[in-house]
Amino acid sequence: MFNRHRRLRNNEAIRSMVRETVLTPDDFIYPLFVVEGENIKKEITSLPNNYHYSIDRLHEVVKEIEESGVKGIILFGIPDHKDEVGSESYNDNGIIQKAIRKIRELSKDIYIITDVCMCEYTSHGHCGIIHDENVDNDETLDYLCRISLSHAKAGADMIAPSDMMDGRIAAIREALDKNGYVHIPIMSYSAKYCSAFYGPFREAANSTPQFGDRKTYQMDPGNIREAMLEIESDIMEGADIIMVKPALSYLDVIRWAKDKTHMPIAAYSVSGEYSMVKAAAKMGLIDEKKIALEMLLSMKRAGADMIITYYALDAAKWLK
Ligand code: PBG
């Protein structure tokens, strides 16, 4: 006697009834890059079919997002001016702050999440304030609070700190609350690994560190118990959503976070994951659409409630 598992695979009707995980456009968050200047919609070489937009052309992508059914975006800004303390990151007239106001004007519905970090804004390309070639944790916290407040003031719906400084969630939560932003949630890049998969993004965001690497603040790829320590700290400090990043090579971490906490889990399918598929598809080696959707499905199956992905708009179309 043996079990006939194939009975429930006989045709699409029964397969769809027993399907445990299904992707929908609601699952996706689309990363959007904004640059200074005018009349710019320029394809990002390292992230094919993703673009740098100047503020005056954001209406084009806002329309695409609305039509796709994707509800959320995460914003990245590339300033013209960089300095030691990343002062453009908390300038009320900085690139991100202007972009938030513009998108809000163009669409009431798009949910605007902002990446809070300094690496795109500092001349040295690190995610904080540098002393003796080391990122000073506690001094950086003050800057992260200023950046978060300037985003909230411009109209951001959610703040997503990606710097990996200790104590940042507590500091940002307190700053938001004190300034009347108790209703703004924080999505914490909690388990953010020091990963080679960020390569194409750093080209897109012009944020490669000018010396050293990010190993003193981002996590070692071999560690999963440490991810739980990071996540526990962020929950204690008041995070509303926990993120695991990258996604594809860290599905086990996503599953752990799902099983061991009651928090909503975000997965960031990062630039390297996207660019690998694009490159292989261009060479005719794989079926891009099927591979991309299968990868995204695996992240949701692993436990992700939402997925940040450069495929967001395409995947939403493919699912229709
Ligand atoms: C900023 C930040 C990075 C990414 C998101 N926010 C780069 C980094 O940490 O070096 C990477 C995203 C991607 O690769 O798609 N700190």
Residues labelled as active-site residues? 192, 245
Whether residue 201 is predicted with pLDDT greater than 90 in this model: the reply is yes
Arithmetic mean of pLDDT, 188-201: 97
pLDDT of 203 reads 85
* pTM for the whole structure: 0.97
Handedness of CA 154, 157, 162, 168 (dihedral sign): positive
pLDDT of 247 reads 98
Q: Is the CB of 162 under 6 A from ligand 1?
A: yes
**78, 96, 117, best to mutate for ligand 1 pocket (most atoms within 8 Å of CB):** 117
Arithmetic mean of pLDDT, 235-251: 98
Q: Is the CB of 271 under 6 A from ligand 1?
A: yes
Residue in the block written with tokens 């043996």? 2
Q: Is the CB of 65 under 6 A from ligand 1?
A: no
Altogether, the residues listed in the chain come to a count of: 320
User: Given 3-state DSSP classes, what are the helix, strand and coil percentages for the chain, each rounded to the nearest 5?
Assistant: 45, 20, 35
What separation in Å is there between the alpha carbon of 185 and the centre of ligand 1? 20
Arithmetic mean of pLDDT, 209-216: 91
Confidence of residue 4 (pLDDT cuts 50, 70, 90): very high
For 261-292, the pLDDT digits (tens) are 999 999 999 999 999 999 999 999 999 999 99
For 87-133, the pLDDT digits (tens) are 999 999 999 999 999 999 999 999 999 999 999 999 999 899 999 88
What separation in Å is there between the alpha carbon of 211 and the centre of ligand 1? 17
Arithmetic mean of pLDDT, 295-302: 98
pLDDT of 218 reads 94
Measured in whole angstroms, how far is the alpha carbon of residue 299 from the centre of its chain? 14
| Whether the Cβ atoms of residue 127 and residue 172 lie closer than 8 Å to each other | no
Provide the token pair at 15. 């397969």
For 152-187, the pLDDT digits (tens) are 999 999 999 999 999 999 999 999 999 999 999 999
In ligand 1, the atom with minimum distance to the C-alpha of 209 is 10
Arithmetic mean of pLDDT, 62-80: 97
Q: Is the CB of 35 under 6 A from ligand 1?
A: no
* Torsional class of 49: left (φ above 0), alpha (ψ -120 to 50), beta (otherwise): left
Q: Is the CB of 311 under 6 A from ligand 1?
A: no
Q: Is the CB of 119 under 6 A from ligand 1?
A: yes
**44, 73, 115, 201, best to mutate for ligand 1 pocket (most atoms within 8 Å of CB):** 201
Residue nearest to atom 8 of ligand 1 (CA): 198
How many whole angstroms separate alpha carbon 222 and alpha carbon 249? 11
What separation in Å is there between the alpha carbon of 204 and the centre of ligand 1? 10
Computed over every residue of the chain, the mean pLDDT equals 97
pLDDT of 132 reads 87
For 16-54, the pLDDT digits (tens) are 999 999 999 999 999 999 999 999 999 999 999 999 999
How many angstroms separate the Cα of 46 from the Cα of each of 26, 42, 279?
Answer: 26, 12, 10
Please state which CATH number belongs to domain 20-318. 3.20.20.70
Q: Is the CB of 202 under 6 A from ligand 1?
A: yes
Arithmetic mean of pLDDT, 61-70: 98
pLDDT of 154 reads 98
What separation in Å is there between the alpha carbon of 21 and the centre of ligand 1? 28
